[in-house]
Chains A and B, each alone.
Chain A
Amino acid sequence: MSGKQAIKTIKEGAVSITIKNGYLRYLDSEEVIFKHLNVNIKAGVWTCILGRSGCGKSSLLRYLANLLEEKVLWKGKLTTAPLCDSKHEIAYMAQQDLLMPWLSVLDNVLLSTKFSATDKIKIQHEKAQDLLIKVGLSDKAHYLPQQLSGGMRQRVALARTLMQDKPIVLMDEPFSALDAVTRYRLQNLAYQLLQDKTVVLITHDPQEAIRLASQLYIMQGKPAYAELLSVPETKPPRDFDAQGAQLQQQIMHRLEQDYE
């Protein structure tokens, strides 16, 4: 189907993830969330997984984030290349910004450093300040999160994710609670700042997926399976154009069938 994408040289340190024949069921439920799931997440590019709410895409992401330990039955093969323990190599960004209300913007960016013993406090402070400049919030470093707008808060969350500096970034609809223009700007910013990372973005918005995906999977059915869709050959983040609109219409059509 695809294969036409501009072949990127795999960036140094980037990690790819392959899932073969994935099967997942919550231990407290009989319902199988997904089955025969085959996903190949390429290194150093954005992979979008599209599906309607409740299709199991979040479960997949949470499994990759290692948040479902002891809660699910998993079968299948999950491999990374180069071989690594994926749970130490991921950063996670959720739909809510998850900023701690008692920490200043700067301290929120520094949150991950509280959990690892280090003596490079000064260097990390500088790094956090730099990241705040990159997301355009250097003047808000000492504000509390509740003094910021939704878009600003999600930008802080982005800076916090970048602070972790992990090769894999898992995003669970991080832009969905924002208004259209803020979302557009944040997509551009995130794309620009997460260039060399392997990004997995979960979304229910076909437009967002078409804008950002180098690889686009659609998840549907019960139990769900994933299918690779072709995306425009242009480089993301893409402008809205006729080709994108057409693709969006096709995807909508497919997702609609899932409701019957």
Chain B
Amino acid sequence: MSDLKQVNIMLTQLKKKAHHSLPVLRLIISATVIISLWQAIVVIFEMPSFILPSPFSVFDKLIERAPVLLKHSWVTAQEIVLGLLLGLTMGLLFALQMLLFKPVKRWLLPILIASQAIPVFAIAPILMLWLGYGIASKIVMAALIIFFPITTCCYDGLRNTPVGYLDLAKTMGATKWQMLRHIQFPAALPTLASGIRVAVVIAPIGAVAGEWVGSSEGLGYLMLQANARMMIDEMFAALFILSALSVTLYFVADKLLKKFIYWQV
């Protein structure tokens, strides 16, 4: 009987351990499955390489064209990160304005919503016209695409401070600004963080879409060029880097946010 108990305890411990190494293991397993499926499709359906290149030729391209890919990745990464910073700042300021000046909110909110009704892709050509083919127009694209989720999350977070907190601060004689700085803003951070998580995922869309419309460098540009020259394996290589970039960015942001908002479990 006690032996059985011991075995049970050991088993649960083993399970716990397995649980810890699971994320890495899961990643390896799912990558292997996807790659073998991909390879199987290529082999079984005899896909021509200009429709679906085999994963191995994509991998070859990744190594062969590494310097070029790296150069363009750097440009795109800059666009994404700067776009995030710009969008975040704009969103925060906008949300603060709506919170502090009620009449401003009545005027701005409809404009904000209307601005989201116009697809960012549709105004991309205008941005190219105004800001040029360089990095600036892509930064603005990325910022525009994340502006809305950041603003709404920040505004909701600031508006939904627990009433008790505000009452307490009021009885302590806090001014409007002190209330904002010491109570409302920290209380809004967890909500804002979920906005930032969404923003980090969609900002690359803005940057790459901007590159598609008109650019001379960046992963989006590289993909268009490769596509035009039927170098599909290079296109896939760029795509792979782009998704790796986005995923890394998400996990870094997530880690940072968790560390910064230490009181949230």
Chain A interface (Cβ within 8 Å of chain B)?
A: 62, 65-67, 88, 90-92, 94, 96, 98, 100-102, 111-112, 114-116, 144, 146, 164, 170
Does B172 sit at the interface, judged by CB under 8 A?
Answer: yes
- Which residues of B line the A interface, CB within 8 A? 162, 164-165, 167-175, 178, 182-183, 186-187, 189, 261-265
Which residues of chain A have C-beta atoms less than 8 A from B171's C-beta?
A: 65-67, 90-92, 170
Given A115-B178, A146-B263, decide whether A100 and B165 contact each other with a Cβ distance below 8 A.
yes
Rounded to whole angstroms, the CA-CA distance of A92 and B164 in the bound complex is: 11
Tell me if B's interface is mostly helix, strand, loop or mixed. helix
13 pairs from A and B in contact (CB 8 Å cutoff): A65-B171, A66-B170, A66-B171, A92-B167, A96-B164, A98-B162, A101-B264, A102-B186, A111-B172, A112-B172, A114-B178, A115-B173, A144-B262
Q: How far is the CA of A164 from the CA of B171 in the complex (A)?
A: 10
CA distance A90 to B264 in the complex (A): 32
- Verify B167–A67 contact, CB threshold 8 A: yes
- Beyond the given pairs A66-B170, A146-B265, 4 more chain A to chain B contacts, judged by CB atoms under 8 angstroms and listed by A's residue number, are A65-B167, A98-B162, A98-B164, A115-B173
User: Is B182 a contact of A115 with CB atoms below 8 Å?
Assistant: yes
The CA-CA distance from A67 to B171 in the complex, in Å, is 7
Least CB distance from B247 to A in Å reads 29
| Distance of B17 from chain A, by nearest CB (Å) | 27
Residues on B with C-beta less than 8 A from A66 are: 170-171
Q: Pick the contact of B170 from A67, A96, A146 — CB < 8 Å?
A: A67
Report the minimum CB–CB distance from B43 to chain A (whole Å): 55
In the complex the two chains form, is B263's CB within 8 Å of A98's CB?
Answer: no
CA distance A30 to B168 in the complex (A): 28
* Cα A157 to Cα B68 with chains together (Å): 61
Given contacts A100-B186, A101-B263, contact A115 B165 (CB under 8 A): no
CA distance A144 to B261 in the complex (A): 12
**A162 → B minimal CB distance (Å):** 13
Q: Given contacts A98-B168, A100-B183, are A88 and B173 in contact (CB under 8 A)?
A: yes
Nearest 4 Cβ contacts at the A-B interface:
A92-B171, A115-B174, A101-B263, A112-B172
- Please name the residue on chain B nearest to A62 by beta carbon: B167
- How many angstroms from the CA of A146 to the CA of B262 in the assembled complex? 11
CB distance from A137 to the nearest CB of B (A): 18
A161 nearest CB across to chain B (Å)? 10
CB distance from B259 to the nearest CB of A (A): 13
Instruction: Find out whether the CB atom of A144 lies under 8 angstroms from the CB atom of B178.
Output: no
User: Could you say which of B165, B167, B173, B265 contacts A116, with CB atoms under 8 Å apart?
Assistant: B173
Bound Cα distance from A230 to B263, whole angstroms: 47
A101 proximity list for chain B (CB < 8 A): 263-264
Knowing A102-B186, A144-B263 are in contact, say whether A115-B167 is a contact too (CB < 8 A).
Answer: no
Quick one: closest A residue to B163, CB to CB? A67
